[in-house]
């Protein structure tokens, strides 16, 4: 596995050493040493580079909340989509190159995960030929940039109430996009940026389209709707608790404002329903990350109208999404996309049968990927 990792996670600028390591990995795989290192998977693994991006936010509230107890002013400021603390954060990022140059190479897919996930959700190691979004998109000729939101993965973990909240996600993503446009990420200026967001990542895209409508050329939503009826009952049914209490040895250093599912049953209720492989439940359980109290309190305020956004929008949602469809057929809820994005050049809505919230880990994943590729191609991405 060490040789496999080195061969497939080298920086973008590696030259002869990368070739040597890939040859070693292929020899390693040919000897049958490990299921993940099969020759087919090694050959199709994209070339990726991990790095941190520095992003900053400035306080927009009139109050000063540093070293101050929680009170009503905190709640009101968060509800008003304000930034409560000025700070600079490191966003852990992974840029992966397409396996071939073609007409899609001028498009960057910016991938933003959901709550209690991180950037690794886009690179499933469970049956990657089916569930690995990055691998498929790179093979089709797209660059992908997957990021950890502040307070997730390998990014900065600030105050989980005052700072790791949805408006902070929006502002730091806006700053990241500014840097992408300026050619500061990967040394390349892409002509087009498409944000692919799952759950709270999709909500961040929704709020970006309202606040900064010129940031994005296209948006792909996974797993949201604009009916809040089921959101908080479903959220509570996930049985989340402070991560430091769930596993003190592993997460005892993390402040109690960061939480995750406390049981496999709660995780299953939150993410799965219908048709999926039972084995992927355990994979997902072991890969789960955190949700912050700040994000949990604020994300519904970012399910908004985006009247100035004019690019195309795609929405994929499972008909058994427990959070945004109540776990029973969505009905008309997804079609609010037309009202929320009245000036979008195109609206594509796909409701996948027998599918829960985490679409990409269900049997619907191949259809979701095919539909997304068709949407991108139809709009010149």
Higher per-residue confidence, 13 vs 188 = 188
Tally of residues, the chain: 381
Q: What pLDDT, on a 0 to 100 scale, did the predictor assign at position 5?
A: 37
Residue with tokens 């109690």: 256
Taking alpha carbons only, the member of 349, 363, 376, 85 closest to residue 221 is 349
Q: Which two tokens stand for residue 165?
A: 């909240």
**What residues pair up with 315 in beta bridges, in sequence order?**
221, 349
The values of phi and psi at residue 38, to 5°, are -65, 145
List helix spans (H) across the chain.
Answer: 2-8, 16-30, 39-44, 72-79, 128-131, 133-139, 166-181, 200-211, 231-237, 243-246, 248-251, 264-271, 278-287, 293-298, 337-340, 365-378
The values of phi and psi at residue 317, to 5°, are -145, 145
From CA 198, how far away is CA 258, in angstroms rounded? 19
From CA 3, how far away is CA 22, in angstroms rounded? 8
Residue with tokens 């406390």: 262
**Per-residue confidence band for 136, with pLDDT thresholds at 50, 70 and 90:** very high
Contacts of residue 165, Cβ cutoff 8 Å, sequence gap at least 6:
78, 84, 292, 294, 295, 297, 298
As a whole number of Å, the end-to-end CA separation of the chain is 35
**Per-residue confidence band for 99, with pLDDT thresholds at 50, 70 and 90:** confident
From CA 184, how far away is CA 162, in angstroms rounded? 29
Radius of gyration of the chain (CA): 20
Mean pLDDT across the chain: 88
pLDDT tens readout for residues 75-89: 999 999 999 999 999
| Structural domains of the chain, with CATH | 1-45 (no CATH), 47-378 (3.40.50.1820)
pLDDT tens readout for residues 315-350: 999 999 988 987 677 888 999 999 999 999 999 999
Instruction: With a cut of 90, say whether residue 238 has pLDDT above it.
Output: no
pLDDT tens readout for residues 152-197: 999 999 999 999 999 999 999 999 999 999 999 998 999 999 999 9
Q: Is the dihedral of CA 28, 30, 33, 34 positive or negative?
A: positive
Give the three-state DSSP class for 129. Answer: helix
From CA 141, how far away is CA 12, in angstroms rounded? 16
Q: What pLDDT, on a 0 to 100 scale, did the predictor assign at position 44?
A: 53
Percent of the chain, pLDDT > 70?
88
Instruction: With a cut of 80, say whether residue 30 has pLDDT above it.
Output: no
Higher per-residue confidence, 20 vs 133 = 133
Residue with tokens 């969505």: 330
Give the three-state DSSP class for 275. Answer: coil
């Amino acid at each position: 596995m060490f040789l496999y990792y080195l061969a497939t996670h080298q920086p973008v600028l590696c030259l002869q050493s990368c070739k040597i390591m890939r040859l070693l990995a292929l020899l390693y795989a040919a000897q049958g040493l490990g299921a993940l290192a099969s020759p087919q998977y090694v050959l199709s693994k994209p070339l990726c580079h991990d790095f941190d991006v520095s992003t900053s936010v400035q306080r927009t509230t009139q109050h000063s909340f540093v070293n101050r107890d929680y009170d009503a002013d905190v709640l009101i400021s968060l509800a008003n989509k304000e930034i409560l603390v000025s700070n600079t954060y490191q966003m852990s990022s992974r840029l992966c190159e397409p396996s071939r140059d073609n007409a899609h190479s001028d498009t960057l897919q910016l991938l933003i995960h959901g709550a209690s996930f991180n950037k690794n959700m886009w690179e499933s190691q469970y049956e990657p030929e089916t569930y690995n979004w990055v691998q498929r998109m790179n093979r089709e000729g797209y660059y992908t940039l997957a990021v950890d939101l502040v307070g997730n993965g390998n990014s900065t973990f600030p105050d989980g109430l005052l700072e790791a909240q949805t408006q902070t996600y929006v502002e730091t993503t806006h700053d990241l996009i500014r840097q992408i446009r300026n050619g500061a990420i990967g040394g390349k200026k892409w002509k087009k940026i498409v944000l692919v967001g799952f759950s709270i990542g999709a909500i961040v895209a929704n709020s970006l389209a309202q606040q900064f409508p010129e940031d994005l050329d296209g948006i792909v939503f996974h797993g949201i709707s604009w009916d809040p009826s089921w959101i908080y009952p479903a959220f509570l049914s996930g049985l989340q608790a402070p991560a430091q209490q769930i596993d003190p040895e592993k997460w005892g250093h993390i402040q109690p404002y960061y939480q995750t599912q406390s049981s496999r049953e709660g995780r299953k209720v939150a993410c799965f329903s219908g048709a999926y492989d039972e084995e992927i439940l355990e994979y997902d359980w072991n890969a789960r990350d955190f949700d912050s109290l700040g994000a949990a309190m604020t994300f519904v305020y970012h399910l908004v109208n985006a009247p100035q956004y004019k690019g195309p929008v795609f929405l994929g949602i499972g008909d058994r999404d427990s959070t945004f469809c109540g776990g029973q057929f969505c009905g008309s809820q997804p079609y609010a996309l037309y009202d929320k994005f009245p000036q979008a050049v195109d609206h594509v809505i796909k409701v996948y049968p027998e599918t829960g919230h985490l679409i990409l880990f269900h049997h619907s994943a191949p259809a979701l990927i095919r539909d997304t590729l068709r949407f991108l191609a139809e709009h010149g991405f």
